[in-house]
Amino acid sequence: MHEVPIVRDIFNTLQESHPDKFDRILKVQVEAGLLCNVQPILIQNAFEALIRDEPHLAHIDLEVVLLPIIAHCETCHQQFEVIRHKFVCACGTPSRKIVQGEELRISKVEFLT
């Protein structure tokens, strides 16, 4: 399960980015693209496992938002959602240019004021 190191990295990044207010984090939102090979439920399970090792994180709410795959068509210059792994634009042109769907990032952090 590669999600445990990912969750650890998320909280290490938050610790490095916000050392003075890390203990006031209430909620962390993570965006995961469908192609990033991360399952939201497994991220949540990994977070629960991390809390057992580091109970001081138990007050934090972790939300994983799954992002669809969006590609760009070089023919008609439109972006389109890839559905059922069909990378074909409405104009009929296949496309390999992915503009969303591979990312895994911290998108929002809420702090206790």
- With a CB cutoff of 8 Å and minimum separation 6, the contacts of 97 are 71, 72, 73, 74
Looking at residue 90, the DSSP 8-state letter turns out to be T
Instruction: Map out the domains of the chain as residue ranges.
Output: 3-68+101-111
Q: Is the pTM of the predicted complex or chain greater than 0.75?
A: yes
Note the CATH architecture for domain 3-68+101-111. Answer: 2-Layer Sandwich (3.30)
At 1, the pLDDT band (50, 70, 90 cuts) reads low
Phi-psi region of 42 (alpha: psi -120 to 50; beta: other; left: phi over 0): alpha
Q: Render pLDDT for 67-103 as a digit per residue (tens, 0 to 9).
A: 999 999 999 999 999 999 999 999 999 999 999 999 9
